[in-house]
Structure 1
Amino acid sequence: MGFPGTWMTESESVVYRVVPKCACSTIGQIMYYSDHGAFFDGDIHDATSGLHKWAIEDSQPLIEQNVKAHKSYAFTCVRNPYTRILSSFFDKICGIQRNGKRYRGNLVPLLIQKYGIEVGAPEDGFEFDQIKSFRRFLLFTRDTIRWRRPMEPDIHWSAMSGHVSTFIQNGGRYDRIFWTEQFNDGMGEVLKSIKTPKKVDLKTIPRFNESEGHGPKRAHPVEDYFDDLSMHLIKEIYHRDFALFKYDFDDPSNKMPIGEIDLDEVHAKLGE
C-alpha cells in the first residue's frame, strides 16, 4: 500500500501526511518555499515537480525509504470535525471547482436526485436552505462511509484518523500532529525542529485557501447546522477523530481542542 497522501520536500528536510481540508494547500506551499525560496505558481495540489509526492511514481521509492527509516521529521495537521465537514460541503458540494465545473461530475446531480439536496448556483447568488441541505448531505456522507453506497467515501469527508493511520500502519511514525485552529504555533514548532534550505518566516506566509470564493458563504454559526440527529451521525462517522485529536463533540460551537494530542496513543490506536 505504501504511503498514499504523503509529501516530502526535495531536500528531504520534512515529511507530511496530507489530510484534506486541514490547511494542506498552505502547508504544501510552505514546504515548496522552504526548498525553493518561492511559492509554486498555482494550486500546490497540481504541482508535479519541486515536491516529492506519493502520487508521483518517481517519488515513491524516495518517500518509502525515508519514512521507513524515519530519516526526516514527519508531521500532519488535523481540524475540528464539525468545521471540516461543513467546509467540505460548501467547497465540494456547493462550490464550483477550479476547472469551472462541479466536483466529480455527476456527484451533485446524484445528491439532488437521491437525497433532495439543493446547492444553489452562481447565477442565483447560491440562494438555498443551507441547513436543510447540509443535514441531507450528512446522511449521504454516513451512507458512503458505513455502506460504501451510493459511492466510496471521498477523501474530503472520510475520517481524519483514516488518513493519519495509513502512514503508521505502513511503518511511519509522526513527530508531531498539530491543529489547524492553532496553525502558527503548530507549524512554527515543525519549522523549529527541521533545517530548511531557505528560511521561512511564518508571519509573512499568506494562507493558500484554494477553495475560497468558489461557492456560497456559510450563512449561519457552525452550531446551527447540527441538531440531535446530525450530531448522532457525526459521532457515528468521526468518533475516533474527536477522541484522538481532542476536540469537543458536545459543543459544535467550540472549534478549539480541549486537550493535548497524545502521540503514543495515536500510534497505538491507529497502528492496530
Structure 2
Amino acid sequence: MGFPGTWMTESESMVYRVVPKCACSTIGQIMYYSDHGEFFDGDIHDATERMHKWAMEDSHQRIEDNVKNHKSYSFTCVRNPYTRILSSFFDKICGIQRNGKRYRGNMVPLLTQKYGIQVEGDFDQIQSFRRFLLFARDTIRWRRPMEPDIHWSAMSGHVSTFIVNGGRYDKIFFTEKFNEGMQEVLDATDTRHSVDLATIPRFNESEGHGPKRAHPVEDYFDDLSMHLVYEIYKRDFNLFKYDFHNPANKMPTGEIDLDEVHAKLGD
C-alpha cells in the first residue's frame, strides 16, 4: 500500500502526511518555501516537481526509504471534526471547484435526488447540511451510494496508513493552534530557508468556492446531527482530544498522546 497522501520536501528535511481539510494547502506551501525560498505559483496540490509526493511514481522510493528508516521529522495536522465536516460541505458540495465545475461531476445531482439536498440560490444551509451528514454517514458506514470521499472520511483513517505501513510521527498538531504546532516542526528541522510564520499567508484554496456560512457552527448540529457525527468520528474525537459535547468549542481539550495514537492506529 505504501504511503498514500505523504509529501516530503525535495531536501528531505521533513515528511508530512496530508489530512484533507486540515490546513494542507498552507503546510504544503511552507514546505515548498522552506526548500526554495519562494511559494509555488498556484495550488500546491498541483505541484509536480521540486517536492516529493506519493502520488508521483518517481517519489515512491525516496519516500519509502525515508519513512521506513525514519530519516526525517514526520508530522501531520488535525482539526475539530465538527468544523471539518462543515468545511467539506461548503467547499465540496456547495462550491464550484477551481476547474469551474461541481466536485466529482454528478455527485450533487445524486444528492439532490436521493437526499433532497439543495445548494442553489438562497437555500436552507442547516437543512441541507444535516441531509449531507446522512449521506456522509452512509458512504462511510455502508459505502453507499458511493465510496467515502477523502474530504469527509475520518482523520484517524488518513493518519493510520502512515503508521500501519511503517512510519512514525514526531508531531501531530492542531489546525486550531496552527502557528504553535507548525513552529515546533520548523524548530525541529534544518531548512534551507527560514520561515516566518507571522508573515506567511494562509493558503486556503477552498475559500471562495462556496457560499459563506450563514450561522455559527453549533446551529448546524442538533441532537441527531451530533449523534451522526459521533458515529462517524468517535475515534477522531477521542484520539485527537476534541469536545464532542459542545460543537461551539472548536478548541482541543488536551494534548495528543502520540504513543496512544501509534498504539491504537497501528493495528
**How would you bin the TM-score normalised by the shorter chain?**
over 0.9
Partner of 1:49 in structure 2?
A: 49
3-state SS, counterpart of residue 204 of structure 1:
coil
Post-superposition Cα deviations, 1:115-171, rounded to whole Å, max 9, x if no partner, equal 000012xxx4xx110000000000000000000000000000000000000000000
The equivalent residue for 2:215 is 220
Q: Which of 153, 170, 173 is the aligned partner of 1:178? A: 173
Amino acid at match of 2:185: V
1:215 Cα deviation after fit: 1.0
Alpha-carbon displacement from aligned partner over 1:77-117 (angstroms, at most 9, x marks no partner):
00000000000000000000000000000000000010000
Q: Does residue 124 of structure 2 align to residue 145 of structure 1?
A: no
Inter-partner Cα distance in structure 2 for 1:231 and 1:214: 26
RMSD of the TM alignment (CA)?
0.4
In the aligned structure 1, how far is the partner of 2:55 from the partner of 2:190?
A: 25
Q: 1:235 aligns with which of 192, 217, 230?
A: 230
Structure 2 SS opposite 1:254: coil
Is 1:202 the equivalent of 2:194?
A: no
Tell me the amino acid that sits aligned with residue 11 of structure 2.
S
Which aligned pairs between 1:91-130 and structure 2 lie closer than 5 A?
A: 91-120=91-120, 124=121, 127-130=122-125
Helix, strand or coil for the counterpart of 1:203?
Answer: coil
- Aligned position for 1:266: 261
Instruction: Give the superposition deviation at 1:258.
Output: 0.3
Cα distance in 1 between the residues matched to 2:221 and 2:18:
27
How far off is 1:268 after superposition?
Answer: 0.1
Q: CA deviation at 1:214?
A: 1.5
Q: How does 1:65-76 map to 2 (within 5 A)?
A: 65-76=65-76
Partner of 1:245: 240
Q: Using the TM superposition, give the Cα deviation of residue 50 of structure 1 relative to its aligned residue in structure 2, in angstroms.
A: 1.1
Aligned mates of 1:3, 1:243 — CA distance in 2: 24
Gaps of 5+ in 2: none
User: For residue 100 of structure 2, what is the amino acid of its counterpart?
Assistant: G
- TM-score, length of structure 2 as denominator length: 1.00
Moved over 2 A (4+): none
Match of 2:22 in 1: 22
What is the TM-score of this pair, normalised by structure 1? Answer: 0.98
Shift of 1:248: 0.1
Q: 1:157 aligns with which of 136, 145, 152?
A: 152
> How far apart in 2 are the matches of 1:225 and 1:204?
33
